[in-house]
């Protein structure tokens, strides 16, 4: 039934105890100690190993479980390497800076919150990082809102909504690649499938911000002008820098070329254009691809926005993915997750119940542990067999894991994203939460679609599945 076979059958009480213990170790470490997730994950791995040895499970089987868990993430690891290269190339080649400059051109005093939402969405889409977008462009918008006496809470809600829309739909996003790789779904097929819930959530959010936006006729947009001036001074702003590499990426995506080849083509195109405007030695180029692009304009906000990418820049995410999947492998090997699922197995016999359970699990992991990566990884690994049982394709689960996983993290005050956003924007999580409409709508829509069957895709042999109970259940 599961990709990783259990070597024992623990009791339900035992499985619950181990699960709660692991959740406590990770959540308390992240919330109160403010530790990076890696250390509590390693501690959790050790705890699971000690538990397995206590249960007289041979160590070689525990080691095999760790290796099998990590093995499932190798596709994502290679994609992350190429994402780091692409970001570095697009920064150095001027692709991302030019797109950012074009986005700022959209800002006007009218429909202010709509513009904040759209600009952060566009920049999040091309950067592929919600937190980077929030820490740079988001800070600029917060400064403007303070100067023109616009609501900081609503501004923060618009920033978070736009940044996480961009993060969710960007082929450069680590969470998007993680969700598709974990469930072995083609990256661009995953993004295309997410449009079913994401585009309606985007449109509804846009309409809400349209109606609540003030008209800031006499607004002082000096800080935004300074931001644009700083981008121009980099010498990276040229229309061909943005258009050509983006078109290459778009064409390869439409042609459904494998993600690694597509990312490589986008990187090579940007590097080629870069040499039209500047000259770097091969050593300098390789250094940029390895360590990322380093901006040195002297403007702190600009440098913070543009300094990123490279293979080294992805190692944090790669190590986290491998550790989280290794822990998941042990949880399956020791029979803990299978035992928990057996206890609710009689409830997971309809399409809606499976979608609801997986969405609730993704939300629950975010709330209990505060980690979006784990919510994606564990939800995908746990519910894949159940989706197959009710005849749903894996891309349905990859969409649910993002709809109820990726975008929920910034709404949790003690989560990694929630703490970061509050510290950067100076607006509390609970203050902007009611206005982060996109993040609130995404899980609601994915659950609604599970109930109605809208946009769900079934395996060829199970096209006639509905929300009726499975025969024989």
Q: Tens digits of per-residue pLDDT, 91-104?
A: 888 887 887 777 67
Secondary structure (3-state) at 450: helix
Is the pLDDT at 162 greater than 90, yes or no? yes
49, 330 Cβ separation under 8 angstroms: yes
Is the pLDDT at 465 greater than 70, yes or no? no
From residue 261, give the alpha-carbon distance in Å to each of 33, 80, 291.
41, 13, 21
| 471: confidence class by pLDDT, cuts 50, 70, 90 | very low
Is the pLDDT at 466 greater than 70, yes or no? no
| 470: confidence class by pLDDT, cuts 50, 70, 90 | very low
The single-letter DSSP state of residue 466 is: -
Give the mean pLDDT of 172-181. Answer: 85
Dist. CA 329–CA 96, nearest whole Å: 37
336, 15 Cβ separation under 8 angstroms: yes
How high does pLDDT run on average in the chain? 83
CA 265 remoteness from chain centre: 23
Give the mean pLDDT of 415-429. Answer: 80
Q: What is the pLDDT of residues 62-82, one digit of tens each?
A: 999 888 888 876 776 787 788
Most confident among 34-43, 57-66, 319-328 (mean pLDDT): 57-66
From residue 287, give the alpha-carbon distance in Å to each of 88, 176, 306, 310, 385.
10, 27, 16, 9, 43
Is the pLDDT at 469 greater than 60, yes or no? no
Is the pLDDT at 126 greater than 80, yes or no? no
* pLDDT at residue 1, rounded to an integer: 44
Domain extent listing, the chain:
12-64+318-418+435-462, 75-314
Is the pLDDT at 53 greater than 90, yes or no? yes
* pLDDT at residue 224, rounded to an integer: 67
Lowest-confidence segment of 53-57, 85-89, 351-355 by average pLDDT? 85-89
Q: How big is the CA angle at 420 (ends 69 and 396), to the nearest 5 degrees? A: 45
């Amino acid at each position: 039934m599961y990709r990783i076979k259990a070597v024992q059958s623990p009791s339900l009480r035992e499985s619950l105890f181990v699960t709660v213990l692991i959740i406590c170790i990770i959540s308390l470490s992240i919330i109160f100690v403010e530790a990076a997730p890696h250390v509590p994950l390693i501690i959790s791995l050790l705890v699971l190993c000690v538990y397995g040895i206590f249960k007289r499970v041979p160590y070689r089987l525990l080691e095999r479980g760790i290796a099998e868990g990590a093995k499932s993430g190798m596709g994502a690891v290679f994609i992350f390497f190429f994402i780091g290269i692409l970001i570095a190339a697009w920064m150095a080649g001027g692709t991302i800076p030019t797109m950012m400059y074009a986005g700022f051109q959209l800002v006007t005093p009218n429909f202010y919150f709509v513009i904040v939402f759209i600009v952060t969405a566009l920049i999040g889409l091309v950067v592929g990082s919600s937190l980077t977008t929030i820490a740079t462009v988001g800070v600029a918008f917060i400064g403007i809102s303070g100067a023109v006496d616009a609501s900081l809470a609503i501004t923060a809600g618009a920033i978070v909504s736009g940044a996480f829309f961009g993060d969710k739909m960007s082929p450069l996003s680590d969470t998007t690649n993680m969700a598709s790789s974990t469930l072995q779904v083609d990256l661009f097929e995953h993004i295309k499938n997410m449009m079913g819930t994401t585009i309606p959530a985007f449109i509804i959010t846009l309409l809400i911000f349209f109606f609540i936006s003030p008209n800031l006729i006499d607004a002082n947009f000096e800080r935004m002008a300074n931001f644009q001036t700083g981008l121009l001074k980099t010498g990276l702003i040229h229309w061909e820098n943005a258009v050509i590499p983006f078109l290459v990426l778009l064409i390869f995506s439409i042609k459904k070329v494998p993600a690694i080849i597509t990312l490589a083509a986008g990187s090579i195109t940007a590097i080629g254009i870069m040499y039209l405007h500047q000259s770097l030695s091969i050593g300098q180029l390789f250094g940029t691809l390895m360590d990322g692009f380093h901006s040195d304009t002297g403007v702190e906000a600009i440098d913070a926005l543009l300094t990123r990418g490279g293979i080294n820049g992805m190692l944090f995410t790669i190590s986290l993915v491998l550790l989280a999947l290794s822990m998941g492998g042990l949880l399956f090997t020791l029979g803990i997750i299978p035992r928990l699922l057996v206890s609710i197995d009689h409830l997971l016999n309809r399409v809606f119940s499976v979608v609801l359970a997986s969405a609730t699990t993704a939300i629950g992991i975010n709330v209990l542990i505060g980690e979006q990566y784990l919510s994606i990884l564990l939800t995908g690994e746990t519910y894949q067999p159940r989706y197959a049982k009710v005849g749903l394709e894996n891309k349905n689960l990859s969409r649910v894991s993002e709809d109820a996983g990726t975008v929920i993290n910034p709404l949790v005050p003690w989560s990694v994203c929630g703490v970061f956003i509050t510290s950067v924007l100076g607006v509390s999580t609970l203050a902007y939460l009611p206005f982060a409409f996109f993040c609130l709508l995404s899980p609601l829509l994915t659950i609604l679609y599970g109930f109605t069957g809208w946009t769900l895709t079934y395996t060829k042999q199970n096209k006639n599945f509905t929300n009726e109970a499975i025969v024989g259940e």
